[in-house]
């Protein structure tokens, strides 16, 4: 249990630092930056205290906001995906989720891909709607959402498979 | 009352979610208004020192380019010194109402519509809000938040940014703003349609505000068109500064600002 707490704390700090020091200076094609910190929300253990989880996600977004001077946009996006996460866990993993036995490192790639894709897309859509904050610029919001989501998804899959310790 | 409590306890996750979401949304809305984002900003002690620590590593990447910029600026200053005798003495930069202070950029962004920079100088160096920030090539932005050791700059690449500028050739002034699209192009508005302008004309700061001295270069005209009512120009300005790659900047401090402010208040 203590080990799990330690892993999550270090993941929190590590991902925030990785986000603000490295990922936000990539600026691929001028404006595409991956938001790698959502991995914390995606990989948080399934059997959890939901109140704590939602609060931690808010804190995660807020710390990124503080570094990036983006108001509360990242906080709003991550607290939303943290709240709706169980719905998509059920959708992507089906029966295993019912028994609270989902271990992300042991699920197969397609299921994980779908789960990541949906949540990352929702997160980015909320994020860029709030960042652009102009309903006349829907096209711009979708463009940003699409490209950044793809970039984030790719990095999330890479990172999660890089650090998963498969014991078979 | 009992039922109300029961309702809250039953839906506590949803209530917490709503609470945090509204918190985040209010912070977001505040941040879209100029000068309103009070609590969450990157010029505090924690974020500043973390940016500082990592900046120690990344600053080496730009050394070559920075060296070249410094050499260019040095040669320009040398030319000024050699030709000192020929210079008119009324140049506003040479009057000592403005002080320059060099500073390093800890964080810069240009990919979103509201961009800010973080600098490593703060109140301890007598930096105040409304001080201007420039490089050797052009203007960067205006200080908008300060802490003891760090300060935040409202970049000219921010949809809230408004800077008073003028056409160098004809002295007609207008307001420089940004539409949030390309980090190389900003927009100059409020120039009358009777003004003669041409592509390539230089735009400089007007000196009407107390933030920037007059005649600091801004950019050159890339293209222009009339606005919807066809009486004012909307001019696209190509910036002289490469806003995507800033390392050393100067903070411009106006030493006469209190006097100017007092004058403005007595006017009202």
Min Cα distance B196 → chain A (Å) is 33
Tens of pLDDT, residue by residue over B202-243, are 999 888 877 888 888 899 999 888 888 888 888 999 998 888
**Interface probe with B: pick from A15, A17, A23, A72, most Cβ of B within 10 Å:** A72
In chain B, what residues touch A73 (CB-CB under 8 Å)?
Answer: 24, 28, 31
**Interface probe with A: pick from B21, B143, B183, most Cβ of A within 10 Å:** B21
Cβ-defined contact of B47 to A66 (cutoff 8 Å): yes
Token pair for B157 = 């690449």
Per the structure, how many domains does chain A have?
A: 1
Where is A61: in which H helix or E strand?
Answer: helix A50-68
Q: Give the confidence band of B50 by pLDDT, cuts at 50, 70, 90.
A: confident
Contact residues of A toward B, CB < 8 A: 17, 20-21, 24-25, 27, 30-33, 50-51, 54-55, 58, 61-62, 65-73, 75-76, 79-80, 83, 130-133
Q: Is the confidence at residue B108, as pLDDT, over 70?
A: yes
Q: Is the confidence at residue B263, as pLDDT, over 80?
A: no
B7 touches chain A (CB under 8 A): no
Cβ-defined contact of A54 to B21 (cutoff 8 Å): no
Assess if residue A167 is contained within a domain. Answer: no
Structure confidence at residue B264 (pLDDT): 66
Structure confidence at residue B35 (pLDDT): 54
Q: pLDDT exceeding 70 applies to what percent of chain A? A: 92
pLDDT, chain A, mean: 85
In chain A, what residues touch B13 (CB-CB under 8 Å)?
Answer: 50-51, 54, 83
- CATH 1.10.10.10 assigned to domain B46-154+245-267? The reply is no
Tens of pLDDT, residue by residue over A36-88, are 999 999 888 887 788 899 999 999 999 998 888 888 899 999 999 999 988 88
Tens of pLDDT, residue by residue over A132-146, are 887 788 888 898 899
Assess if residue A151 is contained within a domain. Answer: yes
Tens of pLDDT, residue by residue over B13-43, are 888 888 999 888 888 888 777 555 556 677 7
Could you please state the CATH topology (level 3) that the domain comprising B163-239 is classified under.
Thrombin, subunit H (2.40.10)
Assess if residue A110 is contained within a domain. Answer: yes
Where is B203: in which H helix or E strand?
Answer: strand B202-205
pLDDT, chain B, mean: 82
Structure confidence at residue B128 (pLDDT): 85
Assess if residue A139 is contained within a domain. Answer: yes
DSSP label at B56?
H
Q: Which domain holds residue A115?
A: 2-162
Token pair for B30 = 């505040």
The residue extents of the domains of chain B are 2-31, 46-154+245-267, 163-239
Structure confidence at residue B268 (pLDDT): 47
In chain A, what residues touch B154 (CB-CB under 8 Å)?
Answer: none
Q: Which residue has the higher pLDDT, A37 or B11?
A: A37
Tens of pLDDT, residue by residue over B159-187, are 888 888 888 888 888 899 998 888 889 99
- Same fold across B46-154+245-267 and B163-239: yes
Of B65, B253, B235, B232, which is closest to residue B146 (Cα–Cα)?
Answer: B253
Cα–Cα distance, B93 to B34 (Å, whole number): 29
- The stretch B85-112 carries a mean pLDDT of 71
B244 touches chain A (CB under 8 A): yes
């Amino acid at each position: 249990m203590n080990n799990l707490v330690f892993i999550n704390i270090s993941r929190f700090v590590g991902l925030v630092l990785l986000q603000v020091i490295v990922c936000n200076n990539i600026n691929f094609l001028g404006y595409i930056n991956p938001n790698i910190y959502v991995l914390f929300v995606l990989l948080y253990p399934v059997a959890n205290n939901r109140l704590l989880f939602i609060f931690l996600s808010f804190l995660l977004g807020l710390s990124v906001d503080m570094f990036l001077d983006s108001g509360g946009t990242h906080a709003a996006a991550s607290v939303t995906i943290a709240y709706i996460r169980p719905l998509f866990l059920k959708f992507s993993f089906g029966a295993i989720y019912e028994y609270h036995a989902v271990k992300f490192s042991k699920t197969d790639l397609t299921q994980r891909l779908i789960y990541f894709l949906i949540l990352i897309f929702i997160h980015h859509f909320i994020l860029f709607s709030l960042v652009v904050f102009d309903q006349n610029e829907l096209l711009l919001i979708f463009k940003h959402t699409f490209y950044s989501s793809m970039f984030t998804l790719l990095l999330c899959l890479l990172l999660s498979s890089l650090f998963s310790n498969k014991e078979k | 009352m009992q039922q109300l409590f029961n309702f809250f306890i039953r839906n506590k996750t949803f209530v917490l979610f709503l609470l945090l979401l509204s918190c985040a949304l209010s912070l977001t809305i505040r941040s879209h208004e100029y000068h309103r984002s009070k609590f969450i900003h990157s010029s505090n002690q924690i974020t500043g020192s973390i940016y500082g620590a990592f900046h120690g590593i990344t600053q080496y990447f730009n050394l070559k380019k920075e060296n070249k910029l410094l050499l260019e600026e040095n040669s320009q200053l040398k030319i000024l010194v050699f030709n000192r005798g020929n210079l008119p003495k009324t140049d506003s930069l040479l009057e000592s109402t403005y002080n320059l202070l060099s500073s390093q950029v800890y964080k810069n962004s240009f990919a979103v519509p509201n961009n800010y920079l973080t600098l490593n100088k703060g109140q301890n160096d007598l930096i105040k809000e409304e001080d201007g920030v420039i490089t050797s090539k052009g203007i960067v932005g205006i200080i908008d938040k300060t802490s003891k050791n760090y300060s935040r700059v409202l970049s000219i690449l921010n949809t809230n940014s408004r800077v008073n500028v003028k056409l160098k050739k004809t002295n007609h002034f207008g307001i420089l703003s940004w539409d949030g699209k390309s980090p190389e192009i900003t927009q100059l508005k409020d120039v009358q349609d009777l003004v003669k302008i041409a592509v390539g004309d230089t735009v400089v700061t007007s000196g009407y505000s107390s933030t920037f001295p007059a005649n600091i270069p801004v950019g050159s005209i890339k293209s222009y068109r009339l606005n919807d009512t066809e009486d004012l120009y909307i001019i696209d300005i190509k910036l002289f500064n490469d806003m995507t790659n800033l390392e050393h900047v100067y903070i411009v401090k106006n030493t006469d600002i209190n006097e100017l402010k007092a004058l403005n208040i007595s006017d009202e």
